[in-house]
Amino acid sequence: MLFGLSSSVSLFFPSSAPNAAVETDKEVKMALVVDDINAYSFMYPLELPSKKFVFKWVESRKPERYSSAAPLSPDARQRIVSERVDIIDNLIISVSIGPPNLQFIKSKDKNTWNAKDVADSVLSDKSALRVTSAQRKAESQVLDTHSTNIDGEPYWYYEYLVRKSPTNSVQESNIFRHYIAATAERDGYFYSLNASTLGKKWDFMGPVLEKTVGSFRLLPPTNNYVPPYKDPWRFW
């Protein structure tokens, strides 16, 4: 199963984020999200005109400060600061923030970090199970990684699978979720955008999710920006 999915992986590259609220081409119509609290932006798909397909997004988590955000693991290091889902089409787009895991990120110079180490660092802090970092990382399989510099800052990109079910009674096509992600660093924290769908829907949804991940940018902070290290005790 894993080898079959791995063989279909193609390297994706970031696109420039537009300034307009909505971008339309013959393939996909996208809308811009700007989170002033955490100072980032990305584009998400609204419809595929050529295929007469409309997404059904619900904003399941509105943008919020790191201190009040939902934790992804019992140690609460990495937290979801915004999320939108399309339940009908089984799609999730989320942004999480968390400190680097020093087990994988050993240098203080982020320009020396490679994408695989960044991916392992982020994934090791994503599991909701009470397990070790190594066990959390083992739940997922990284398929592809690369990095690039945008406006002088490194962005790391990675593609991975996460096992949804440990049982043999579930159909293989429903066992794995297929993810792509982008991570950037600021103020000693990783900011990561993740987009995912079921493995069986990747051929159809993957190219669209790649556009979303490629559009992720950290923005110059405004007066509304709240750095993750500020008021860690505050929950509102």
User: pLDDT tens digit string along 44-84?
Assistant: 999 999 899 999 999 999 999 998 887 766 667 889 999 99
pLDDT band at 168 (very low <50, low <70, confident <90, very high): very low
pLDDT band at 24 (very low <50, low <70, confident <90, very high): low
Contact 12, 157 (CB under 8 A): yes
| Residue 8 included in any domain | no
Give per-residue burial for 31-43: e unless 16+ CB within 10 Å, then b: bbbebebbbbbbb
Distance CA 97, CA 225 (A): 14
| Residue 88 included in any domain | yes
Distance CA 155, CA 141 (A): 20
| This prediction's pTM | 0.82
Residue 112 has pLDDT above 50, yes or no: yes
| Residue 68 included in any domain | no
Count of Cβ atoms closer than 10 Å to residue 19 Cβ:
8
Strand ranges (DSSP E) for 67-200? Answer: 70-71, 79-86, 91-98, 140-150, 153-163, 176-186, 189-198
Task: Specify burial of residue 137 (Cβ count, 10 A radius: 0-12, 13-18, 19+).
Answer: buried
Most confident of 66-75, 101-110, 124-133, 138-147: 101-110
Residue 221 has pLDDT above 80, yes or no: yes
| Residue 19 included in any domain | no
pLDDT score, position 137: 47
pLDDT band at 5 (very low <50, low <70, confident <90, very high): very low
pLDDT score, position 63: 94
| Residue 5 included in any domain | no
| Residue 139 included in any domain | yes
Contact 152, 145 (CB under 8 A): no
Residue of higher predicted confidence among 15 and 156: 156
DSSP designation for 16: P
pLDDT score, position 2: 36
Distance CA 154, CA 165 (A): 34
Residue 12 has pLDDT above 80, yes or no: no
Percent of the chain with pLDDT over 70: 74
pLDDT score, position 230: 79
| Residue 125 included in any domain | yes
Question: What is the extent of the structural domain holding 159?
Answer: 29-62+75-234
Please state the φ and ψ torsions of residue 80, each to the nearest 5 degrees.
-85, 120
pLDDT score, position 74: 63
pLDDT score, position 153: 96
**How many domains does the chain divide into?**
1
CATH number (domain holding residue 155): 3.40.1000.10
| Residue 201 included in any domain | yes
